[in-house]
Structure 1
Amino acid sequence: LIHYDDLPPWLQENKYIRNSYRPLMPSIKSCLKSIFRLHTETGNIWTHMIGGILFVCLLIHVLYCYSDCLVHKWDEKLVYVSFFVSVVTCLALSSSYHTMLCHSENVYNIFLKLDFVGITVIITGHYIPYLWYGYHCMPTKRTLYLTITICLAVTTIGVILSDTMAKPNYRLLRTVVFATFSAFGILPIIHFLSLYGLDYIYSHPYLSTALMCLILMSFLHIVGAFLYCSQIPERFFPGKCDYWFHSHQLFHTIVVIGVIVHYIGFTNLALYVRQWPDKFCNQINIQYPLL
């Protein structure tokens, strides 16, 4: 293992993580073997690898154990599959990037861009369940929001795949691009609240849980992005977080927790829509639509 100062410039992303970096390994086999060794990327690799396995198992559990009450129809199955596939895709690409980044500069750039694609995919996947169930009674608006989401995802990928954005000193700008895509979600949320009202939402535990989970997930992602951009806590303890608890590792952990919270939230929304579809549709306040 080598010191930060011995890294090539394109790997010098966090000066507060001082030691225990892998040297360049121009061999795929060597990179894969390093998964099972302790170094600066070990936590980054395993947090998302374990998370990916967890969510594959959870998807199988949902499809087989809740086929009657939750995912009975093909479109409901598609919503859950889309969400979990987006999550697993992101986590798999992330683990692959952290595994292969020490191979060579060319391979590093390829996998970094794939990591960016994975982030865009998971953001898109997070929109789908809430839009699908939240706008169950308004298929036209649901289609509109889903279409805008896809267009924003394609645009984000186009911007983020530029060679300039892959450079270490563009960490903040990359975060801003992804945050902007995520911030679009505020619009359908406000629209939804204007149609149903907080009194109605908080009158039922399923709906209130769905909203609170959405708020909690957003808070977690903001905290994770802040830690990632500010390089906290290693900024205050240089060389002390080389293996564990550095910002990128904490960010990975927060992402996994956020996915679990999001799943709980939209599942509560789905259960409400399944059990009381007429009540849900009749409650829309048509006098004050936002759109």
Structure 2
Amino acid sequence: MTSTILERISTLSLSTQQLSRLPKLLEEGFPKMPCTVKECDVPQLFREPYIYSGYRPIEQEWRYYFLSIFQQHNEALNVWTHLLAAVTVLLQVQAIVEERMLSLDAYSLPFYIFILACLMYLIFSVLAHLLQSKSELAHYSFYFLDYVGVSAYQYGSALAHYFYSTEQTWYNKIRLFFLPGAAVFGWLSCSGCCYAKYRYQRPYPVMRKLCQVIPAGLAYILDISPIVHRIVVCLQTGCTDEAVCYHIFQIIFFLIAAYFFSCPVPEKFFPGCCDIVGHGHQIFHIFLAFCTFSQLQATYLDYKNRKAVFYEQHNPAESYVASCSFFGLLLCSGITANYLLKKMRNKLDKKMIEPFLEVHVKKSNSYAIQYPLD
């Protein structure tokens, strides 16, 4: 009996010693993470207005940028807000699936496209903010991908609003041009953002922001028009539709998000105080996520309660064609982003070669002075 107890005590002491070494073993197992640096230690491209520290050093291994999701830096909250938002969207979808309301038919197809569009813009945003600090080429590559996700989300929202949330009177006015216009504006939004990123260098002029905001703003005005009409009709008739409340919330959250996207506040008033937490782009992410949650809930309620309206306004062929056009928009946006990325790569290559050419020219001129031709 005594020997058995002693054996267990010795085993327990060994286990305790192993557990005490566990933190050190874990620390040795993970690569050493470089410390964040100040704005003067990164190229001009990576610097944000009024953000003075918390930048990740460039030209590290890819593994570092993936693992930096657990590090404290000025992009960490941007990554986590949209990563958690993507998980929340998946949980919302799981709850919808458990209600057994989804089906595999023309009626459900635009709803699936809308969910896909939400996840695409969130995941592409996560990748952009997590990996863009690797290099200048990576910066442009992942942000161009992010802009493709934005155009997908715009058109996916347009599909959902058009098929599930449009009142008959507004449908009669817009049915000939709404989806083609939404597709064109979605492509223009991606093209404008990519071109502005390619064309203008820091410090950015006002024209860059206009290239981004004007196409996106036009796309939003068209995409949200069925919802605004629906809200106005509901307020005039005194309806008690629960979906309308969520539609109102999605508009409010989007307008707040748009403000923080367009204006560098509050960091403009507190330079250097919002480097890690609290700068405007983080707030933009949070309110855009709330907008998406509200929009998804509103769209699901319309999907669940307005099936008869769908079949009065649309036929299955229209749903299939419109849903396929989503992938056509993705293709066009991807081609445009890839074209501008190639031009950006050529510009970066020339930028790297220019110093060597200058040195070569100086050496040639020096040689010509020392050994003039007879």
The answer to whether TM tops 0.5 is yes
Match of 2:120 among 72, 89, 93: 89
The code of the aligned residue for 1:221 comes to: F
Match of 1:118 among 141, 149, 155: 149
Q: 1:27 maps to which residue? A: 61
Cα separation, 2, equivalents of 1:2 and 1:135? 50
Cα separation, 2, equivalents of 1:153 and 1:185? 10
- Among the aligned pairs, what percent are the same residue? 21
State the shift of 1:257 in Å.
Answer: 0.5
Asked whether 1:12 is paired with 2:50, we answer no
Q: 1:224 maps to which residue? A: 257
Q: 1:164 maps to which residue? A: 199
The code of the aligned residue for 1:79 comes to: P
CA contact (8 A) 2:158 2:224 kept: no
Q: 2:93 maps to which residue? A: 59
Determine which structure has greater relative contact order: mean sequence separation of CA pairs < 8 Å that are 6+ residues apart, divided by chain length.
Answer: 1
CA contact (8 A) 1:28 1:103 kept: yes
1:110-149 alignment, distance < 5 Å: 110-135=141-166, 142=175, 144-149=177-182
The code of the aligned residue for 2:120 comes to: T
Q: 1:179 maps to which residue? A: 217
Q: 2:292 maps to which residue? A: 259
The code of the aligned residue for 1:20 comes to: G
More helix by share: 2
Would the alpha carbon gap of residues 229 and 172 (structure 1) be closer, same or farther in structure 2, given more than 3 Å must change? Answer: farther
Would the alpha carbon gap of residues 54 and 191 (structure 1) be closer, same or farther in structure 2, given more than 3 Å must change? Answer: closer
Could you say what the CA RMSD is over the residues aligned between the two structures, in angstroms? Answer: 2.8
Larger radius of gyration: 2
Cα separation, 1, equivalents of 2:228 and 2:289? 26
Unmatched segments (≥5 aa) in structure 2: 1-35, 314-374
After superposition, give the CA deviation of every residue in 1:54-78 in whole Å (9 maximum; x if it has no partner).
Answer: 212322332x22324xx34623432
Asked whether 1:233 is paired with 2:271, we answer no
Q: 2:283 maps to which residue? A: 250
Normalising by structure 1, what TM-score? 0.81
Cα separation, 1, equivalents of 2:173 and 2:260? 39
The code of the aligned residue for 1:11 comes to: F
Cα separation, 2, equivalents of 1:148 and 1:258? 22
CA contact (8 A) 1:24 1:103 kept: yes
Q: How many residues are paired up? A: 270
Cα separation, 2, equivalents of 1:38 and 1:18? 14
State the shift of 1:82 in Å.
Answer: 1.1
The code of the aligned residue for 2:140 comes to: N
The code of the aligned residue for 1:33 comes to: L
Cα separation, 1, equivalents of 2:243 and 2:201? 36
Cα separation, 2, equivalents of 1:269 and 1:43? 33
Would the alpha carbon gap of residues 191 and 257 (structure 1) be closer, same or farther in structure 2, given more than 3 Å must change? Answer: closer
CA contact (8 A) 1:21 1:40 kept: yes
Normalising by structure 2, what TM-score? 0.65
Q: 2:80 maps to which residue? A: 46
Would the alpha carbon gap of residues 277 and 223 (structure 1) be closer, same or farther in structure 2, given more than 3 Å must change? Answer: closer
Cα separation, 1, equivalents of 2:202 and 2:116? 28
